[in-house]
Amino acid sequence: MRILAIESSCDETAVAVLSGQGDVLTLESSLVRSQIDIHQAYGGVVPEVAAREHLAYLFPMITQALADAQVSAADLDALAVTAGPGLAPALRVGVEAAKALAWAWHKPLIPVCHLEGHIYATWLDTLTPPQFPALALIVSGGHTELVLMRGHGSFERLGETIDDAAGEAFDKVAKMLGLPYPGGPQVEQLAKLGNPTAFSFPRALLDKSNLDFSFAGLKTSVLYKLRENEASLADAKFRADIAASFQEAVIDVLIKKTKRAIVEHSPKSIILAGGVAANTSLRTRLQTLGAEHQVDVHVPPFAYALDNAAMIAVAGYYRALAQNFIDPLVLSANPNLDLV
């Protein structure tokens, strides 16, 4: 089976072609065009600007992806597209393009949840995919969740953030520190130069028995610390210590909540998913946690940790095996689409 996938949920235009037989997957082409340089001027993603960029580059990228895979539309078995969540104008470009192509090429169409795609990124470039039940820690700019996956397409949310997502907190702290967009990677780089125990920032909800997260208080605590030390804002060591202590607090909460979920649900695999999966400190801590509990940890290759269409193709492939198709006339972009 061969899938053409489209991703346009935010500021990356992405197209991929993937073929599979059983659990053996071959990524035949993968293209990603980032808009970071455009949105840096605004300090964040402007939805209408993102949509215009998607519209300008999507169809040429589809042509190029097919050429790179050395296939034609006739060789495709289905099309997959990110239906949500994401920015409505950006999502709409990808969804409408996929609908038009599915109709014109007479191909089945598969809607994919963006978060599901991030989970399936760990199926790329591996001979040993996650075993079920799998515990997925999803950490991105808009989501922080623990999800139990009992099989393909089977998801149970165990816990989620009650306010800010971890990635959102990273981005907001980056702005407080005057770091350029995108903020998360900038905070991580600055944290490498700092002392993670320099400041004692709060770890919310660790005294609760649930698996929910909260990062709003941590973000506010960082803001107050910066206001209390305005004279030190130009000091490189102070700024690095703030970044390192903040990052340590976020990762502590993520790891301790994941540990509780491991104890309660005994998964065979742990999956790290979402844009913050590119954070090397989080990867290392999660690998250590897995070793302590003798559970295999699966992290996506760095190339597929951020938004891409290859992960949407994998999710679409397994949905296609289950005949989970949709009438193109029925599908619409859903910026609030939920995984569960």
- Which whole number is the average pLDDT over 227-240? 95
Contact by Cβ (8 Å): 279, 290: no
Answer whether residue 37 shows pLDDT above 90: no
- Which whole number is the average pLDDT over 290-295? 98
Provide the pLDDT for residue 40.
Answer: 83
| pTM, entire model | 0.95
% pLDDT > 70, the chain:
100
SS3 assignment, position 107? coil
Q: Tell me the per-residue pLDDT of 116-144, one tens digit each, with 9 for 90 and over.
A: 999 999 999 998 999 999 999 999 988 99
Q: What Rg value do the Cα atoms of the chain yield, rounded?
A: 20
Give the residue ranges of DSSP H helices in 82-139.
Answer: 88-105, 114-120
What are residue 5's DSSP bridge partners?
Answer: 16, 80
Element (H, E) at 318: helix 310-321
Answer whether residue 44 shows pLDDT above 90: no
Give CA–CA dist 15/62, Å, rounded.
Answer: 6
Phi, psi torsion values for 247, nearest 5 degrees = -60, -40
Give CA–CA dist 82/335, Å, rounded.
Answer: 10
Give CA–CA dist 213/211, Å, rounded.
Answer: 7
Locate 24 and state its tokens. Answer: 């053996």
Provide the pLDDT for residue 173.
Answer: 96
Domains for the chain: give ranges and CATH numbers: 2-122+304-321 (3.30.420.40), 130-300 (3.30.420.40)
Give CA–CA dist 31/26, Å, rounded.
Answer: 15
- Which whole number is the average pLDDT over 26-43? 92
Answer with the residue of higher pLDDT: 144 or 44: 144
Give CA–CA dist 273/304, Å, rounded.
Answer: 10
Provide the pLDDT for residue 253.
Answer: 97
Q: Which residues of 195-232 are buried (b: 16+ CB within 10 A; e: fewer)?
A: ebebbebebbbeeeeebbbbbebbbebbeebbeeeeee
Give CA–CA dist 205/255, Å, rounded.
Answer: 13
Confidence of residue 327 (pLDDT cuts 50, 70, 90): very high
Q: Tell me the per-residue pLDDT of 246-273, one tens digit each, with 9 for 90 and over.
A: 999 999 999 999 999 999 999 999 999 9
Answer whether residue 220 shows pLDDT above 90: yes
- How many C-beta neighbours within 10 Å does residue 45 have? 18
CB contact set of 217 (below 8 Å; sequence gap of 6+)? 202, 204
- Which whole number is the average pLDDT over 61-85? 98
- Which whole number is the average pLDDT over 49-68? 97
Locate 132 and state its tokens. Answer: 């079920």
Give me the numbers of helices (H) and strands (E) for the chain, helices first please: 10, 10
Cα torsion angle, 84, 88, 93, 95, sign = positive
SS3 assignment, position 296? strand
Provide the pLDDT for residue 144.
Answer: 97
CB contact set of 106 (below 8 Å; sequence gap of 6+)? none
